[in-house]
Amino acid sequence: MKSKTVIGIASCAGFAFTAMAGGTFTIADSNTSATFDPGAGQVDWMIDGVNQLFTQEFYYRRSTDTREHRMDSFNLNNVGNFTQDTNPFIDTRADAFGSLFTDNNGLEFETLFTIRGNAAGSGSAALAEQITIRNTSNAAITLSFFQFVDFDLGGDAFDDFGQIVGGNTAQQSDDGSALSETVATPTPTIFQMGDSFDMTSMFNDSAIDNLDGTSSHSGDVAWAFQWDITLQAGGSFLISKNKAVIPTPGSLMILGSAGLFANRRRRS
């Protein structure tokens, strides 16, 4: 890992964000770890030595933009990042990672990820995620915000099955593992389950794109959620999501415990 040089401190929502130059950030708990790159998004999710995730990225588009932009340190100012150990009496490693981005024109994006593992060899882990979007300007801002996820369960890409259930839950299965992600609040405006290459191309082309409501796909699966938002001056918008990976056939109790964990960790 590259060394990180402290260049400043910013305070936001009760957390101290330390601005650091370059590098990646890894959080871990029990049998699981996840790595984040402010220039690229979440770049892995290891569970019992197997990388289940290819990428997780976030995109945004103001009403005045002509395309989507990835929420990263190239398109935005990465004000700062932090890692924190939220259960020091159980596991002394950092298990939470937060970032703060701004477009220097009234928009702020704050993210918080908290990871929880299980016993070694269980094949299960959970990740709670919060994204807060703020309008710090004196005028309303209308935008679309996107979450894009490409899981390669079992470490390979081409034989997964995925579906969107109830408009807010993504499910994916392959190689003896099952993934579920539920948007706890608020329900997305629309969603799309599709081919990883096609969806990556859509987010990175030079056109305005909106999701199409496709609810299932087989093969190299990826999915996205879209929120269409109008933020009044000084307003904020909180997205709260819970992910869990379990071995199949798995217990619904484990998936349920991931939601309870996220609710317990949710900030006011």
For the stretch 163-181, pLDDT in tens is 999 999 999 998 789 999 9
Q: What is the pLDDT of residue 22?
A: 57
CB atoms within 10 A of CB 82: 20
The partner residues of 15 in beta bridges, in order of sequence, read 12
Please, which pLDDT band fits residue 14 given cuts at 50, 70 and 90? very low
- pTM of the shown model: 0.86
- What SS3 state is found at 200? helix
Domain count, the chain: 1
Structural domain includes residue 1: no
Structural domain includes residue 51: yes
Tokens representing 20 are 């650091």
How much is the average pLDDT of 196-219?
Answer: 97
Which has more confidence, 112 or 7?
Answer: 112
Structural domain includes residue 146: yes
Q: What is the pLDDT of residue 45?
A: 98
Q: By residue range, what is the domain housing residue 11?
A: 6-265
**CATH number of the domain to which 125 belongs:** 2.70.98.40
Q: Three-class SS string for 106-132?
A: CEEEEEEEEEEECCCCCCCEEEEEEEE
Tokens representing 94 are 């950092």
- What SS3 state is found at 26? strand
Backbone angles phi, psi at 247, to 5 degrees: -75, 150
How much is the average pLDDT of 118-146?
Answer: 97
Structural domain includes residue 125: yes
Look at 78-82, 88-92, 112-116, 135-139 and tell me which has the smallest mean pLDDT. Answer: 88-92
